[in-house]
């Protein structure tokens, strides 16, 4: 059981309002460069795991089968995974397990989602249906509402400010400009971010991530194959996963995600590292408050000091713990099924030293943090080069 599992190929479709491409075409746009990156073809891949979060976005049931066939994986084993906004990371976990279990030597993980075609109001409604449809959804709460509750509680308990929320947005937009695959590539000033349209108090437009179409792909291999096929494999050395209550009203706290804390604990333990060892991280900033809570729950700073952490610039390149150099969900976009896979792509780029202007110099250990819904599930992966 000592074999390591490594990332040997990465690919990323352009995130955005992709009226030009269907879900299978977006998947292909990510898979093609991943295969080229690994220097192999689908013939060399034993199985696939496909991550798509919702049937209704693409008006396609069993979209895994559709994508699997289109990308040239016919006849190979496959299943689809789903864990809401954390679907892609669940896919990485499932694929890692298939290899470690000896059922495959190389597995392709593809995450994809097309969300813009149904329009933003419908997309927001479909996401709200991933809340409890008996006890939450019928009363009208949607995701900005859930996270607004968390933001309000955090502001109340820890004095987190309106400006601090917006600072997360400013940072992620700044780095998003440097990511050619990001949906929204433009900087935002603090003033603009603070004053933008209220979506659900206290969250405004620039606190909310984008609704995007997109896809990302990662090829994993066992140690032997990885070393043979790849000069710079990035090893996934820790995997942590945890869950929490379906309903936000049953949580013990609104200012921390228990699923994040438990998943991080497991991942750190498995990888035998501590938060201080993380050189670069991507965290789940579906809303700015989520990134602030992630700093705290992942142990990057003390509880309640997430606002101060961004204000001091600690999550910038050059700070203590650089976070979301790819622009985050905020600027890069958040096509649900693609997000977790895209996170693995970014950390791999960073640990290979291929992140160009957004490179965290000398990064050796990375972390990805992907939350489903309002913390119903969380997946934390740790990477080492």
**List 85, 200, 208, 230, catalytic entry:** 85
**List 334, 369, 378, 381, catalytic entry:** 334
| 232 upstream amide cis, omega within 30 of 0 | no
Compose the 330-369 pattern: x for residues touching its own copies by CB under 8 A, - for all others.
----------------------------------------
Q: Which is nearer to its own copies, 239 or 351 (CB)?
A: 239
Task: List the structure tokens of 259.
Answer: 């699923």
Residues 19-48 that bind its own copies (CB under 8 A): 22, 47
| 202 upstream amide cis, omega within 30 of 0 | yes
Which spans in 139-186 are helix H? 143-158, 162-176
Q: Is 73 in the site for its own copies (CB under 8 A)?
A: yes
Q: Are the C-beta atoms of residues 214 and 14 closer than 8 Å to each other? A: yes
User: What count of other Cβ atoms lies within 10 Å of the Cβ of residue 351?
Assistant: 24
Crossing angle of the two packed helices 288-297 and 258-271, in degrees rounded to 10: 50
User: What are the C-alpha distances in Å from 72 to residues 42, 67, 350?
Assistant: 7, 9, 29
Q: Are the C-beta atoms of residues 304 and 81 closer than 8 Å to each other? A: no
Q: Which is nearer to its own copies, 84 or 367 (CB)?
A: 84
Q: How far apart are CA 66 and CA 145, in angstroms?
A: 34
Q: Which of 244, 285, 291, 305 binds its own copies (CB under 8 A)?
A: 244
Candidate segments 72-80, 194-202, 290-298, 308-316, binder of its own copies by CB under 8 A: 72-80
Q: Which is nearer to its own copies, 154 or 261 (CB)?
A: 261
Q: Is 56 in the site for its own copies (CB under 8 A)?
A: yes
Q: Is 122 in the site for its own copies (CB under 8 A)?
A: no
Is 375 in a helix, a strand, or coil? coil
Task: List the structure tokens of 114.
Answer: 């097309």
Q: Is 190 in the site for its own copies (CB under 8 A)?
A: no
Q: Which residues are catalytic?
A: 85, 334
Q: Which residues bind its own copies (CB under 8 A)?
A: 1, 22, 47, 53-56, 58-62, 64-66, 68-70, 73-84, 90, 93-94, 96-103, 126-127, 129-130, 132-134, 239, 241-247, 258-259, 262-263, 372-373, 376-377
């Amino acid at each position: 059981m000592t074999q390591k599992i490594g990332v040997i190929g990465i690919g990323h479709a352009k995130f955005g309002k992709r009226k030009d491409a269907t879900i299978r075409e977006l998947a292909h746009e990510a898979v093609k460069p991943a295969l080229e990156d690994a220097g192999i073809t689908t013939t060399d891949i034993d199985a696939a795991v496909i991550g798509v979060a919702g049937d209704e976005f693409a008006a396609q049931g069993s979209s895994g089968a559709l994508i699997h066939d289109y990308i040239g994986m016919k006849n190979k084993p496959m299943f689809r995974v789903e864990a809401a906004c954390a679907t892609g990371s669940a896919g990485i976990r499932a694929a890692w397990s298939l290899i470690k279990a000896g059922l495959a030597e190389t597995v392709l993980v593809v995450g994809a989602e097309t969300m813009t075609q149904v329009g933003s109001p419908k997309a927001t409604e479909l996401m709200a249906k991933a809340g409890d449809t008996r006890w939450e959804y019928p009363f009208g709460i949607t995701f900005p509402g859930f996270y607004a509750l968390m933001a309000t509680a955090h502001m109340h308990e820890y004095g987190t400010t309106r400006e601090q929320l917006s600072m997360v947005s400013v940072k992620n937009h700044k780095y998003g400009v440097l990511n050619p695959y990001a949906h929204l590539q433009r900087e935002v000033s603090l003033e603009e971010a603070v004053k933008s349209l209220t979506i659900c108090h206290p969250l405004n437009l620039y606190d909310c991530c984008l609704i995007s179409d997109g896809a990302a792909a990662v090829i994993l291999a066992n140690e032997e194959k990885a070393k043979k096929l790849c000069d710079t494999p990035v090893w996934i050395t820790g995997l942590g996963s945890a869950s929490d209550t379906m309903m936000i009203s049953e949580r013990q706290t609104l200012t921390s995600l228990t699923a994040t804390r438990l998943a991080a604990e497991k991942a750190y333990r498995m990888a035998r590292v501590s938060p201080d060892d993380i050189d670069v991280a991507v965290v789940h900033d579906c809303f700015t408050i989520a990134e602030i809570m992630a700093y705290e729950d992942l142990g990057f700073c003390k509880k309640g000091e997430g606002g101060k952490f961004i204000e001091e610039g600690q999550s910038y390149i050059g700070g203590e713990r650089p976070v979301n150099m790819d622009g985050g969900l905020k600027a890069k976009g958040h096509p649900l099924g693609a997000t977790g896979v895209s996170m693995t792509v970014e950390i791999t780029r960073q640990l290979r030293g291929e992140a160009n202007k957004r490179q965290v110099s000398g990064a050796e250990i990375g972390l990805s943090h992907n939350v489903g819904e309002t913390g119903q599930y969380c997946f934390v992966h740790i990477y080492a080069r």
